[in-house]
């Protein structure tokens, strides 16, 4: 999923706000996406 990959790239660059939006969008499209849930949880901690 390209949106998830973009989020992972942003996360790796330390752009957490932008990455958070990508993971939220991923979860809107695929609510049970495990990697998006895990990474979003890390950002919000």
pLDDT in tens, 1-45: 899 999 999 999 999 999 999 999 999 999 999 999 999 999 998
Range of the domain at 32: 2-44
Q: What is the DSSP code (8-state) at residue 24?
A: H
Question: What is the per-residue pLDDT for 29?
Answer: 96
If 0-12 CB within 10 Å is exposed, 13-18 middle and 19+ buried, where does residue 41 land? exposed
Number of domain units in the chain: 1
Question: What is the per-residue pLDDT for 15?
Answer: 97
User: Measured between alpha carbons, how far is 7 from 1 in angstroms, rounded to an integer?
Assistant: 10
Question: What is the per-residue pLDDT for 16?
Answer: 96
Pair 36, 25: CB distance under 8 Å: no
User: Measured between alpha carbons, how far is 13 from 34 in angstroms, rounded to an integer?
Assistant: 21
Question: What is the per-residue pLDDT for 1?
Answer: 80
Question: What is the per-residue pLDDT for 20?
Answer: 97
Question: What is the per-residue pLDDT for 23?
Answer: 97
């Amino acid at each position: 999923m390209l949106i998830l990959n973009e989020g992972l790239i942003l996360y790796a660059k330390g752009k957490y706000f932008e990455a958070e939006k990508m993971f939220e969008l991923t979860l809107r499209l695929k609510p049970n996406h495990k990697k998006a849930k895990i990474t979003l949880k890390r950002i919000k901690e």
